[in-house]
């Protein structure tokens, strides 16, 4: 059984590689519009399934005997926080999470290219931030790192010094809760 990752995320690719999986990378562009009032877990599961299904529709005939993994990650602090639109939006998000607890949730959808069967799950990690300053935020948003990350930060990057601790899976915060998907991958093999 071969694995297709419906994402170009270097972080997800690296998580799979460190677990011995060299996935075929076939990103799926999908509509990421969410219904008003959707919960954080429903949101990431919906988006992960959309991405996996878009990839499935595009490639299932060319890749029999494969599984497709679609994933989506967001940050939740009183509301969904996706990727920032600009520096002002990044500042707003980082200001909102400083000195507090927020949640990172990743949804994953796995589709068998032979049968079209789909499994969907999500994982939540509690993240505790230190009480950093406005200057710390301005310094961080002057870098490129926050702009393609949910919640405007990368726990594995420069921002890690502003994280006090987490409760849950570190890889989930990075973008793929491998410990949760490993049993499903094995089931397909």
Residues belonging to the active site? 72
Per the structure, the complete domain to which residue 131 belongs is given by 2-188
Q: What is the average pLDDT across 123-151?
A: 96
Total domains in the fold of the chain: 1
Q: How far apart are CA 17 and CA 159, in angstroms?
A: 23
| CATH number, domain containing residue 139 | 3.90.950.10
The whole-angstrom separation of Cα 48 and Cα 36 is 18
Q: Given this model, what pLDDT does residue 57 score? A: 96
With a cut of 70, say whether residue 145 has pLDDT above it.
yes
| Chain-centre distance for alpha carbon 5 | 12
Q: Per-residue pLDDT tens for 78-124? A: 999 989 999 999 999 999 999 999 999 999 999 999 999 999 999 99
At residue 185 the predicted structure's pLDDT band, cuts being 50, 70 and 90, is confident
pTM higher than the cut 0.75: yes
């Amino acid at each position: 059984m071969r694995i297709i990752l419906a994402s170009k995320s270097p972080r997800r690719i690296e998580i799979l590689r460190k677990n011995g999986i060299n996935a075929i990378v076939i990103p799926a562009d999908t509509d990421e519009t969410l219904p008003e009032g959707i919960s954080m877990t429903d949101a990431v599961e919906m988006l992960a399934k959309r991405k996996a299904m878009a990839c499935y529709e595009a490639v299932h005939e060319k890749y029999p005997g494969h599984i497709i993994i679609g994933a989506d990650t967001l940050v939740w602090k009183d509301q969904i926080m996706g990727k920032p639109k600009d520096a002002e939006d990044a500042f707003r998000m980082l200001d909102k999470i400083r000195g507090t607890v927020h949640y990172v949730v990743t949804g994953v959808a796995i589709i068998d290219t032979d049968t079209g069967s789909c499994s969907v799950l999500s994982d939540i990690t509690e993240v505790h931030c230190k009480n950093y300053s406005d200057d710390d935020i301005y310094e961080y948003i002057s870098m490129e790192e926050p702009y393609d990350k949910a919640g405007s930060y990368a726990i594995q990057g420069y921002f890690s010094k502003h994280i006090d601790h987490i409760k849950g899976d570190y890889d989930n915060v990075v973008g793929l809760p491998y410990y949760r998907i490993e049993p499903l991958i094995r089931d397909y093999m």
